Structure 1
Amino acid sequence: MKKHSSNILLIYTGGTIGMIKDFETGSLKNFNFDELLQHVPELNLLDCVIDTHSFETPIDSSNMNPDCWEQLVGIIENRYEEFDGFVILHGSDTMSYTASAVSFMLENLAKPVIFTGSQLPIGDLRTDAKENLITSIQLAALRENNEPVVKEVGLYFEYKLYRANRTTKINAEHFEAFASLNYPALAESGVYLAIEYRALLKVDTTRIFKTYTKMEDNVFVLKMFPGINQATIHHLFAAPNLKGLILETYGSGNLTTETWFLKALKKLIDKDIPIINVTQCSGGSVEMGNYETSVALKKMGVISGKDSTTEAAVTKLMFLLANRKQDVGFKEQFETSLRGEIS
């Protein structure tokens, strides 16, 4: 049987990876992705056919928002049957947010959707862009028994492929910019591509692929810190359209036991505004009730984010607020793993 050559769609949203230096002016400019092979001729060595699609106006990742996520999901939905895999080029600063959001917005995904980017432009002498781009496409094209090896949303950076909704950006200067502290890498690139098969998301390919485009953005993240005061909290919690709150707490889910603060949280819960507890530590999990400082949260109905990243918790909250199943409690839905985002 003839080996199937994968068709890969490369989607450029914006970011450093899609820029090249104008040597006359020294400034960075976006290059035409239709001319991709001229800039990265090594792609000719890959056993796949690459097509490209660029956002009409490339977006700095600092300006990324749910409308852009909807646009991205729409592109994947419209061309899902046409391609075997998708590689999304994105600025690194908010890549974990977008990649997490897209993982929730794509249900029953049976093909690879891999995010990547770079710390240096593709035309820079010391760029990390070429390796990230080439290996991301190679991973998206990887097949065994005529099926994709990866069937989930991933994020590839500096020799490692991670589950996208397990990642967070940890460094603004090093090439090793991302980490997945609560879940192992799905693959590692060295002399050979080493796939961690046990870590890959198990997918029922008989289920129908479905996309969601609605996200509720009336949410905010409150990072706890010593000295947080009553006036500030009352002002924030009085936001008229607030639909959900993420608390970044200390350690395994602890925060101040000041009566005024606990009463302010209870007031939100009484309005059916869900409150999610995630740790502000880089790794680890929320375990409410382990210490006295989190017992009250558990009793009043604060939802455990378990070992979610803040990025996954925020985008999952936005997703569920807009697309929740009415016959299942919100707490139960949130504390259930939808796309492998919690252990």
Structure 2
Amino acid sequence: MRICVINTGGTICCTGTPLAPMAPQQFAQSVTDLLGDALAAALPGDRVHIDHGLRFSDEGPGVLDSTDLRPSDWALMAGRVLDLYDDHDAFVILHGTDTMDYTGAALPLLLNVFDDLGLPCACLSKPVILTGAQLPLFVRTPQGLFLNAASDGLANLTGALQATRLRLPEVAVFFDGKLLRGSRALKVSTTRFAAFDSPHLPPLAEGGIGLHSGPAQRLPGPADPALALDAAPARALVRAQLDAIAAVIDDQRIAQIPAIPADHRACAPLMAQMIGTALASGATGLLLEGFGEGNIPAGGGAVQAALTDAQVPVLIASRAIGGQVGAFHYAAGAWIAATGAIATGDMTPVAALAKLMILNALSGPRGWDRRVLAALLTRSLTGECAATDRLDGPLRPGQAIRAADGDARLDNDPDSGPRFSVGGQILWQAPGPGTLAMRDNRLVLIAPDGGVLWTSPAAAPGAVAILTAHPPALRLFDAARLQAPLTVLPC
């Protein structure tokens, strides 16, 4: 494999007191001089190139502590990957840990292009793995520069390089022996080598004696060679989108406001005031962190009124590390849905902020209205959240999917079987209980005894089943764009 290591800065490439980044050329030469033979032995047959062409500034070394990275710097990283895409089979990005999870959430959205239903039009086809260290890779002494034997940097760098051999077509984070989906990673420690975790998705792979694939399902990658970034037209599509985003993304002002335990008579007016101040100051979106599954005290309606009047997208996340935001079962949060605020599902607040910022930046160039934008914020575009509007696997009794663009549901009732409803009105009822699943490019209802109770017409191989409210239907989409979508419900 031809693996490109892109240096953006961070602790891993720092030396001195206080720590400061080495010049990229010096760091590249140090890796070659001090680690070249060891990396060659660990990666037999692979060719590793340490790139030093990415610069965030013409001043100093050109790389940055990740604390200082701006959203437009995400676009610079993505652009460097595109610049080098033809010449390498995989990419490892060295990055500071402070905002690595933000970059891990942003890069997938910058390196893929999707349509209004979230289906890929241009698709990343090579691994892009972020890594770094809690301690510098090298240490400078009066005798010269040496490998820092106390650092986690060598294990993380080597592990990330080895993980590229899995050829997962997605952005990931490798840290402390675990390969995590980038958009699901969250920084959880400043002192332990296990600095990152993935609370809503298990690892893609884990290191030990060898590197082993984990339980998480990998992203499918391009459905057709024409959609892969290896193809010049697909790469040009990503480049055009990236340029449009880069031109305006630093103008995005997303206000992140937490709910706090307090007397609701004082807390809610204060939160409503914070919302109003953020909007008056030019906020282009709001990310509210509620309690539990997203509950926020209404406090006599002050917050509800502020959110209802907001003319920008509002996302509701949870301060809890695990779980998800969605149904607002409790009275403390039941009013939220009426405001038009969007539940983040099982997205981390970090991923939600990056997604809102990037989609907001795209909404003008793509001509999205608020309904399309809201649906895309809900949909899983690059694996950043569970896909709640499509059949990723069998729909078993007791399970349901719901449309991202309106009040349409497909519920699999254990007694009567699947039923499709819009606004509570049933438009289709299955002939009996069972499991909905794809079989031989058809949607099939399989009875408990294994018999087939209902089957749809045949669709394209690898078809994706998506539930929509506009129009109200379950349709099978050809992910390769070779055939027109097939409506299977209601029928």
Same fold (TM over 0.5): yes
Query: Contact 1:257–1:293 (CA<8 Å) still a contact in 2?
Result: yes
CA distance in 1 between counterparts of 2:331 and 2:5 reads: 50
Distance 1:286 1:162, change over 3 A: same
2:90 counterpart (75, 85, 92): 85
| 1:16 correspondence with 2:14 | no
Query: Contact 1:171–1:177 (CA<8 Å) still a contact in 2?
Result: yes
Structure with greater proportional strand content: 2
Deviations 1:89-138 (A, max 9, x none): 00001000011111111111010000000000102221000000011011
CA distance in 1 between counterparts of 2:28 and 2:348 reads: 32
Bigger RCO of structures 1 and 2 (CA < 8 A, at least 6 apart): 1
Distance 1:334 1:52, change over 3 A: same
Other-structure match for 1:166: 184
Deviation at 1:237, TM superposition (A): 3.2
Other-structure match for 2:258: 223
| 1:279 correspondence with 2:318 | yes
* SS of structure 1 residue aligned to 2:30: helix
Deviations 1:117-163 (A, max 9, x none): 000010222100000001101112x15xxxx2x11000000000000
TM-score by length of 2: 0.63
| 1:191 correspondence with 2:204 | no
| 1:241 correspondence with 2:282 | yes
Deviation at 1:230, TM superposition (A): 2.7
Deviation at 1:64, TM superposition (A): 0.8
- AA partner of residue 338 (structure 2): K
Distance 1:342 1:238, change over 3 A: closer
| 1:119 correspondence with 2:134 | yes
CA distance in 1 between counterparts of 2:295 and 2:215 reads: 35
Deviation at 1:26, TM superposition (A): 8.6
Other-structure match for 1:154: 172
Other-structure match for 2:59: none
CA distance in 2 between counterparts of 1:39 and 1:223 reads: 46
Query: Contact 2:129–2:173 (CA<8 Å) still a contact in 1?
Result: yes
Matches within 5 A, 1:195-214: 195-196=213-214, 199-206=217-224, 207-209=227-229, 210-211=238-239, 212-213=241-242, 214=245
* SS of structure 2 residue aligned to 1:245: strand
- AA partner of residue 283 (structure 2): L
Gaps of 5+ in 2: 56-61, 113-122, 139-147, 230-237, 387-491
CA distance in 2 between counterparts of 1:95 and 1:182 reads: 17
| 1:340 correspondence with 2:383 | yes
| 1:135 correspondence with 2:159 | yes
CA distance in 2 between counterparts of 1:103 and 1:26 reads: 33
CA distance in 2 between counterparts of 1:279 and 1:62 reads: 23
CA distance in 1 between counterparts of 2:40 and 2:309 reads: 60
- Farther off after superposition, 226-235 or 39-48: 226-235
- AA partner of residue 43 (structure 1): L
1:51 counterpart (46, 49, 52): 49
Deviation at 1:40, TM superposition (A): 1.9
| 1:35 correspondence with 2:30 | yes
Other-structure match for 1:61: 66
| 1:175 correspondence with 2:193 | yes
* SS of structure 2 residue aligned to 1:298: helix
CA distance in 1 between counterparts of 2:124 and 2:228 reads: 8
Deviation at 1:180, TM superposition (A): 0.1
Query: Contact 2:105–2:350 (CA<8 Å) still a contact in 1?
Result: yes
CA distance in 2 between counterparts of 1:190 and 1:162 reads: 15
* SS of structure 2 residue aligned to 1:32: helix
1:262 counterpart (292, 304, 307): 304
1:71 counterpart (76, 91, 94): 76
CA distance in 1 between counterparts of 2:222 and 2:27 reads: 38
Instruction: Kindly report the root-mean-square deviation, in angstroms, between the aligned alpha carbons of the 2 structures.
Output: 1.9
Query: Contact 1:166–1:341 (CA<8 Å) still a contact in 2?
Result: yes
Query: Contact 1:184–1:199 (CA<8 Å) still a contact in 2?
Result: no
CA distance in 1 between counterparts of 2:313 and 2:98 reads: 27
Gaps of 5+ in 1: 1-5
Other-structure match for 1:323: 362
Q: Percent same amino acid among aligned pairs?
A: 29
Deviation at 1:261, TM superposition (A): 1.4
* SS of structure 2 residue aligned to 1:194: strand
- AA partner of residue 9 (structure 1): C
- AA partner of residue 169 (structure 2): K
Query: Contact 1:122–1:128 (CA<8 Å) still a contact in 2?
Result: yes
Distance 1:318 1:127, change over 3 A: same
Distance 1:114 1:29, change over 3 A: closer
1:309 counterpart (348, 359, 369): 348
Distance 1:178 1:114, change over 3 A: same
Distance 1:312 1:28, change over 3 A: closer
Deviation at 1:67, TM superposition (A): 1.9
- AA partner of residue 106 (structure 1): L
* SS of structure 1 residue aligned to 2:375: helix
- AA partner of residue 136 (structure 2): P
TM-score by length of 1: 0.90
CA distance in 1 between counterparts of 2:348 and 2:82 reads: 26
* SS of structure 2 residue aligned to 1:176: coil
Higher alpha-carbon Rg? 2
